[in-house]
Amino acid sequence: MKKMIMKKWVKALRSGNYKQCKEDLCQVDDKGNLSYCCLGVLTQLYINERKRQKKGNDIKGFAHIGDYEEIYGYSPDINNEGTPAWYINEETGLLPEEVAKWAGFDILRPGWGGGSIHGFHEDRSLSTMNDGYAVVYLKPKSFKQIANIIEKNYTNI
C-alpha cells in the first residue's frame, strides 16, 4: 500500500468524523446519516480525491441507493445492520478495484477486496476486523484499533 494513502486513511479513521458500521462499505439510516466500514472510509477518501481533481467517480458499477433500482432494475436487499448506501456491481461490502489500485493494494493476492494483510497473524482481513466474525468469535475492532494495525502493516496490504 502507498504510504501517502495510508497516512490519509489512518488520519481519517482516527478523526472521529466517520461513524462505524458493519457489513457494507457505507450505510444510510432513516435520517440520512452515513456510516462506514474501514474500507468504506478509504473509498470515501478516493471519491473525495476524484472530486478535488474535478474528475468523475470512475468506479465501475457504482450506484447510490437512490440510483440502484434504475441501474439494476429491482430494489436492493436490506440487511439487519442498516440500508446499504453504495453498490458496486450489486455488491455492498467489497472494496472497488479502482480504489484498491489507487491505494496501492496488491490486487494479485487473494483477499484484496476485503483488505487482507499478508502474513498478519491476528485476523484475516481489515473487513473481518471491522465487522467481527461470529464463526470464530472475533470481536469487532474500533476504527482507532484498525488504524493502528494499518499503520504497522501497510506494506503487506
In the chain, domain spans: 3-156
Task: Say if strands 86-88 and 26-28 run parallel, antiparallel, or are unpaired.
Answer: unpaired
Instruction: Provide mean pLDDT across the span 45-59.
Output: 86
Query: Is residue 131 within 8 Å of residue 61, measured between CB atoms?
Result: no
| Rounded (10°) angle between helices 3-14 and 38-52 | 110
Query: Is residue 126 within 8 Å of residue 120, measured between CB atoms?
Result: no
38-49: per-residue pLDDT in tens?
999 999 999 999
The rounded mean pLDDT for the chain is 85
Residue 42 or residue 53, greater confidence: 42
**141 vs 50: CA distance, rounded Å:** 29
Query: Is residue 46 within 8 Å of residue 98, measured between CB atoms?
Result: yes
**134 vs 6: CA distance, rounded Å:** 28
